[in-house]
Amino acid sequence: MYKIVKKEVLNQAVILMDVEAPYVSARCEAGQFVIVRLGEDGERIPLTIADFDREKNTVTIVFQTVGYSTKQMGKLEVGDGFDDFVGPLGKPAPFEKWDRVVGIAGGVGAAPLYPQLKKLSEQGVRCDVIIGGRSAEFVILAEKFKEFCENVYIMTDDGSLGEKGFGVDKLKELVANGEKYDHAIAIGPLIMMKFVVLATKEMNLPTAVSLNPIMIDGTGMCGGCRVTVGGETKFACVDGPDFDGFLVDFDECMKRQTFFKEEEHECMMKMGE
């Protein structure tokens, strides 16, 4: 069993956990993910690694309680554990010798963005981050980003924290005001990443995106995360999850993400959730 050593409720829908996983923590890098499972018949759930501590042998996961399995995960407490905690899976995020990078996070996307900007900062890259959420309670990890980012901008749909608007609006404003970046990393809902990429294409600002929202099996066997990148078929779980955003067919991704909505709804109804 992979024991939970820390649990923090970030808001009504998002939970952070530190899990003892020596093998994973010793080998994982920013951008990779794990597969967790509760019980022998539990669903395989891919989660991007939000942080890790090699000395404490722990891996940090952040997840949103949206479906039956993640709601069951949310009921676990410190001392409980996962039957399976497999990883690291996927490819580490590809980094280059950039001078200045901007990260754009939407909702829980701040979690997988955090280790990437942290690693870049450790390599001497200057980092800014734009964190967006529906309202104040859905803005997560802002204080942790402040530890190494030069500027942390907060955007909320309703204006309850930071400025009112979307992350892409802030990015446009910054670039229009003369801020210069070598690279952008956008992680969040597919529709959010799509609109960030539409904007950064016009800016000629290379942009990486993470396609973890469409992963299912996590090993490339189910084919559920097939995506067209630059006209070629890729699998988000084994070829990614990070890709060149300019090359991703986001409309195809969004269609694929809805494939199992009916089955999830039926499961929730049967379980009384």
Task: Write the DSSP string, 132-186.
Answer: EESSGGG--SHHHHTTT-SEEEEEETTSSSSEES-HHHHHHHHHHTT---SEEEE
Please write the tens of the pLDDT for every residue from 73-118: 888 899 999 888 988 998 888 888 899 999 999 988 999 999 999 9
Q: Provide the residue-wise pLDDT of the chain in tens; the chain has 273 residues.
A: 889 999 999 888 889 999 999 999 999 999 999 988 887 777 788 888 999 999 999 999 998 888 778 888 888 899 999 888 988 998 888 888 899 999 999 988 999 999 999 999 999 999 999 999 988 989 999 999 999 999 999 999 988 998 999 999 999 999 999 999 999 999 998 889 999 999 999 999 999 998 875 556 556 666 667 788 888 888 777 777 899 899 988 888 777 655 445 544 444 444 455
- Cis check for the bond before 88: say yes or no (omega within 30 of 0): yes
What are the counts of helices (DSSP H) followed by strands (DSSP E) for the chain? 9, 16
What is the pTM (predicted TM-score) of this model? 0.85
CATH architecture observed for domain 2-89? Beta Barrel (2.40)
CA 271 to mean position of chain CA atoms: 28
- Going from N- to C-terminal start, the domains of the chain cover 2-89
